[in-house]
Amino acid sequence: MSNVIDFLNRIGSDSSLRHAESTQLARELAQAQIAPELQAAILAGDQQRLEAVLGARTNVICGLSPAEQDDAPEPADDDEEIRLQQVARVG
């Protein structure tokens, strides 16, 4: 499958391939040793068939959300710091 992905990437980055005639594109597909069913889908420009053969999904979403801010003070890690806080409250 990686060879077809590499080939599609090559088509996307090389304008001479993107706008190539079907005979030239067919030669390139054969040279890249792309499976015949994938070649047919690419040559036909059939995205749905290409997705079906590859088992791919087009509706993939990636979302990020910021972490929630913690308004509580950080707990004291050091015993001495805890003791000083207790003394300050009593004193």
Is 27 a domain residue? yes
The residue range of the domain holding 42 is 2-54
Per-residue pLDDT of the chain (91 residues; tens, 9 = 90+): 578 989 999 989 988 888 889 999 999 999 999 999 999 999 999 989 998 998 887 777 888 888 777 666 666 566 777 777 777 776 5
Is 38 a domain residue? yes
Is 11 a domain residue? yes
- pLDDT for 86: 75
Is 22 a domain residue? yes
Is 87 a domain residue? no
- In one-letter notation, the amino acid at residue 66 is P
Separation CA 51–CA 88 (nearest Å) = 68
Q: 52: how many CB neighbours lie within 10 A of its CB?
A: 12
How many separate domains does the chain show?
1
